[in-house]
Structure 1
Amino acid sequence: MGRYAQITGAGMYLPPREVTNDELRAKFDAAFPEFVDKMEASSGIRARFWAPEDWATSDVALPAAQYALNAAGKKPEDVDLIILGTDSPDYITPATSVVLQHKLGAKNAGTFDVGCACASFPTALAAAAGIIATNSAINTVLVVGVYLMHKLADPNDPMIFFYGDGAGAFVLEAREGEPGKGFLASAFLADGSYHRHWGIYSGGTFEPATVESVHAGRTKVRLIERYPPEVNHEGWPKLVREVTHRAGVALADVDVVLFTQVRKPSIELVMETLGLPLAKTHTIMEKWGYTGSACIPMAFVDAVAQGVIRPHQLVVMVGSGVGYNQAAVAFRLEELWPHT
């Protein structure tokens, strides 16, 4: 018998304003002919949703957290710890998780942020599971992934094509039982030699924000150099194989694999590499765009709603973010959200 973490509720939030590819074509085609067409073909993205301009990241995270708690039959005051993953925080400091704690009314919860870009959510899940397994005082952890990158982008940069706002959240609770249920294993990869490829490079200690850096656009998110596709095409299969090996399960026994939702063709290629049918994955970028740190929990919630993820299944989640960071987790689910 042992203590382990199980997902007992999940929720997501999609902001109200839909931004279609046709709207972006009207904006960018004169200056960047066929850019939107090319990005649509290479990514599968057809639309994205943006939050109101007066919202902060914590405002997007809040309804997702509330939905997840409702699904788990929990109140905010039941939460012992909040872990929030994002690379579009409210502030450089304080942590966005503590702002969410206040807005949510989770008065008994400690908090911390995870900041490894779009690998943040599976990284946060692994951290939450480890804390639950080793700390008998922590019984309920709220894990949130949230993305509001469009607000940190230059509106005249065509790369806003990718940025969709959204949030997803899981409630993890402590369980007692034999090994093989709930959180099973995690695996990680990183290569910091890519840290200058894509990011926000002014506003931190490397270059504090100045009038010059603001005017030059260095306080906005920028693609400096494209990542080679091998980063994901080789890294994702490696992580799936590693996390299933550590979990003591066969790759063929995995029921669903969820990946960072940036390029649908990459997911199709990786599933082929793994020898798994496409029926064992799920994508949302077509309708919601690239939602970064939020895309894995959002894909999970949508997969549950559509019956792709079902009780007692083995689910692997793989996140990939700039820097680069990559992370994978494996869970054996139990019953799904009896309170919804």
Structure 2
Amino acid sequence: MKPHVAIRSTGFYVPEIEVSNDVLRKRWATTSPEYVDKVEVASGITRRFHAPESWATSDLAVRAARQALSRANVAPEEVDMIVLGTDSPDYITPSTSVVVQHKLGATKAGTYDVGCACASFPTALATASGLFATNPWMEKVLVIGAYMMHKLSDPMDTSSYFYGDGAGAALLVRSEEQGVLASAFRADGALAKDWAILSGGTAEPATEESIRAGRTVVRMYEKYPPTVNEIGWPAVARMVAERNGFALPDVDLTIFTQVRKRTIEKVMKTLELPMEKAHTIMEKWGYTGSACIPMALHDAIETGRAKPGSLLMMVGSGVGYNQAGIALRLTNDLVGVGT
């Protein structure tokens, strides 16, 4: 049995409906006329893409998964497990991963969801890697990050600036080379209600009153302190490096949650790494939450910034808050680039 786990292929999907910052400027012209100009500079986001209103998060996930499987020449029926990271699920229950399994035609795959927002993909990747260690029969696992928060938001709420749709996927396989490495996690539930959908679960089932009050849509009730990411991301990055026995300068490319470019710049400075070692995609597709890290991974591979031999570090930070980081070395198992 091959002793390690590596990425065989990646895939991604971005829908076609572009929502530019000019659209938002017109939308909020009377309520928040200066908001877009202010946030555009700090975030680096000038546009985002939305799926048709008839779609659900699973529709994005399936398209990214299909591309990853196609690149590896793997049929859906060969997949053993699907691990889906999202905080914009199709339903409260059942899990979105089981919907993806059916739509994809992955008839023998087991499934489960990981729901820690933008930390979901590193968490799912680490968890899926662990499954290989305890299940010798397991050969192929799809790890997906998908996001469609715009459908769960109030379009007149300025925090909807950040909600672009998208999905990214990675196919994990057994390998002779060490691909997926050790991970690190942080959390602070004291901030759980600061950015949330407060009504619709067991704490507060949805009622006519809660719907009218807007508690069934996602809202930022309190801004997270900048230190959450500016201190948290370096802390996670250092833990990942220490647990894997490498120095931070050894990292070829870093991928952080794609929400604010200025934050990434500050974190890279704190880590004493050049900004050239940070891969960003918010300029292309905006912020895509649970999907942004796998989308950035796919883009880094597509553009040649990451290739077999590259040491990558991915750190995600999501509402709750949850933070997760993982190191990954791309191996010679990687196929399908540019197809």
1:26-58 per-residue CA deviation (whole Å, 9 max, x = no partner) reads 111221121111110121110000000010110
- The answer for the alignment partner of 2:335 in structure 1 is 337
> How far apart are 1:338 and its partner, in Å?
4.2
State whether structure 2 residue 202 is matched by structure 1 residue 221. Answer: no
Aligned position for 2:322: 325
The 2-side partners of 1:233 and 1:337 are apart by 35
Match of 1:286 in 2: 283
Q: Which residue in 1 is equivalent to 2:232?
A: 235
- Equivalence for 1:36: 36
Provide the secondary structure at the position in 2 that maps to 1:303: helix
Task: Give the one of 173, 188, 192 matched to 1:195.
Answer: 192
Aligned counterparts of 1:42 and 1:117: Cα–Cα separation in 2: 21
Q: Are 1:165 and 1:291, in contact at CA under 8 Å, matched by a contact in 2? A: yes
The corresponding residue for 2:46 is 46
SS at match of 2:32: coil
Q: Cα deviation per residue 1:149-193 (whole Å; 9 max; x = unaligned)?
A: 00000122121111000000000001245xxx2111000000110
Letter in 2 for 1:120: S
Contact 1:317/1:328, CA 8 A, preserved across alignment: yes
| Residue matched to 1:266 | 263
Residue identity opposite 2:318 in structure 1: G
Gaps of 5+ in 2: none
Aligned: 1:93 with 2:90: no
User: In 2, Cα distance between the equivalents of 1:277 and 1:64?
Assistant: 31
After superposition, the C-alpha distances for 1:42-84 in whole angstroms (9 at most, x for unaligned) are: 2111000000001011011111000011122211011000000
The answer on 1:277 being equivalent to 2:274 is: yes
Q: Residues 78-89 of structure 1: matches in 2 within 5 Å?
A: 78-89=78-89
Structure 2 SS opposite 1:220: coil
**Which residue number in structure 2 is paired with residue 255 of structure 1?**
252
Q: Deviations over 1:76-95 (max 9, x none)?
A: 01100000000000000000
| Structure 1 Cα separation of the partners of residues 133 and 248 of structure 2 | 25
**Shift, 1:332, TM fit:** 1.2
Counterpart amino acid of residue 15 in structure 2: P
Residue identity opposite 1:49 in structure 2: F
Cα deviation 1:183-240 (Å, max 9, x = unaligned): 1100000011010110100000000000110111100000000000100111111111
1:102 pairs with 2:102? yes
1:31 corresponds to which letter in structure 2?
T
User: Is the contact made by 2:186 and 2:322 (CA closer than 8 Å) also made in structure 1?
Assistant: yes
1:314 to 305, 308, 311: 311
* Match of residue 74 from structure 1: 74
1:106 maps to amino acid: A
User: What's the counterpart of residue 172 of structure 2?
Assistant: 172
Size of the alignment, in residue pairs?
A: 337
Structure 2 counterpart of 1:123? 123
C-alpha separation between the residues in 2 aligned to 1:243 and 1:71?
29
The 3-state SS of whatever aligns with 2:3 is strand
Q: What amino acid does structure 1 have at the position aligned with 2:186?
A: L
Q: Alpha-carbon deviation of 1:250?
A: 1.6
**Structure 1 stretches lacking a partner, 5+ long:** none
Equivalents in 1 of 2:170, 2:126: separation in Å? 12
Q: How many angstroms apart in 1 are the aligned matches of 2:2 and 2:76?
A: 26
* Residue 330 of structure 1: how far off its partner (Å): 0.6
Secondary structure of the residue aligned to 2:160 is helix
Superposition deviation, residue 319 in structure 1: 0.5
User: Does 1:183 find its partner at 2:180?
Assistant: yes
Q: What residue identity is the alignment partner of 2:294? A: P
Q: Offset at 1:249?
A: 1.3
**Alignment-derived partner of residue 244 in structure 1:** 241
CA distance in 1, matches of 2:63, 2:132: 24
CA apart distance, 1:306: 1.5
Measured in 2, the distance between the counterparts of 1:124 and 1:111 equals: 12
Which range moved further: 330-339 or 208-217?
Answer: 330-339
Q: CA RMSD in A?
A: 1.2
What is the aligned-residue identity percentage? 61
Give the TM-score normalised by the residue count of structure 1.
Answer: 0.97
Cα deviation for residue 134 of structure 1 reads 2.1
The AA in structure 1 aligned to 2:192 is H
Partners of 1:338 and 1:324 in 2: how far apart?
35
Offset of 1:252 from its aligned partner?
1.1
| One-letter identity of the residue aligned with 1:107 | T
Shift of 1:287: 2.1
